[in-house]
Amino acid sequence: MTYEQRQPLAELGPDVPAAVLAPRLAQFAAVARLEHVTRAAQLLAMPQPTLSRAVARLEEELGVDLLARQGRTVRLTRAGRVLLESAERALAELERGAEAARAEADPEAGRVAFGFLHTMGTDAVPALLRGFRAGYPRVRFQLVQEYVAAMLDRLRAGELDLCLVSPLPDAPDLVARPLDEQRLHLAVPADHRLAARRRIRLAEVAEEPFVAVEQGYGLRVLLDSFCAEAGFTPRVAFEGEEVETLRGLVAAGLGVALLPPALVPRPGVVELDVTAPRTRRAIGLAWVAGRPATRPVAAFRDFVLSRRGRLLDHD
């Protein structure tokens, strides 16, 4: 969803009300609050004649009297009171936005929008966050679990600061740094004809039905690539989104799957090492090239990169 879809936007242009009003709202609000032009000018640290002309131009552009003048003292007209209510709301919202923007970059308590693979959410990501928060206990995180294509779209749109991905993207607008490598095993039902084996060549299951994640997921890209390397196209019988769901389908005898190692052995599932091809996946960190990073984002990025080779328990 784009920013425009989430937040209705005011029209912009030299003659539309938003463009005319925005630079002068604070000036008008100061005069209206104090009901005195000179004191308002002192509050805003600007010459009194400049402030008077600015309010007069605002009235001229709107075609309505906002103030009833009595020397340097002023009173709001009915139209002025209507505009002041809206001006106060707009200024308060602007102040909240400015404060939120400052908070984003606060090195101690800023925010990091971090996307990662579903398969990293069980152990690798919690371990990263625990390690980082030891040094930065007040930094806030927005955590997003997505498939790779969707994550990279959100990264480019500015909705995410960093992404933990596999496979690593090869795109000129992105920076991707490898962190670790994980072996993928062939999961088969416990009563499968090959379940007694420890190792297998992927070509040996070319005729078997597969269960796999949906198109667009990194694991699906890797499955298709490894099977092609083994000389066949996988016949996918069931598609899902969660690795543990796929493991359950394997246990039910509905197919075989190429999956990361299970943290806890799943009853009814046997995991075999694949000797050919070399079924490993590179896992890395990605961000948008050339986009300035806030201090908390830069600190977390440096911390994650420092974990290279130690992100996963791997062989």
Residue 134 has which token pair?
């030891």
Distance, CA of 250 to chain centre: 32
CA distance 224 to 142: 32
Give percent of the chain with pLDDT exceeding 70. Answer: 89
Helix ranges (DSSP H) in the chain = 3-6, 17-21, 25-34, 37-44, 48-62, 78-104, 124-133, 148-156, 218-230, 243-251, 295-306
pTM score, whole prediction: 0.69
The pLDDT tens digits for 228-265 are: 999 999 999 999 989 999 999 999 999 999 999 988 88
* Residue pLDDT, tens place only, 115-148: 999 889 888 999 999 999 999 999 999 999 988 8
Lowest mean pLDDT among 71-75, 81-85, 98-102, 158-162: 98-102
Backbone angles phi, psi at 55, to 5 degrees: -70, -40
Tell me what pLDDT residue 245 has. Answer: 94
* Token pair in block for residue 250: 């394997």
Contact present, 287 and 151 (Cβ < 8 Å): no
Q: What is the number of other CB atoms lying within 10 angstroms of the CB of residue 151? A: 24
pLDDT for 315: 41
Confidence class for position 198, pLDDT limits 50, 70, 90: very high
Q: Average pLDDT of 185-198? A: 97
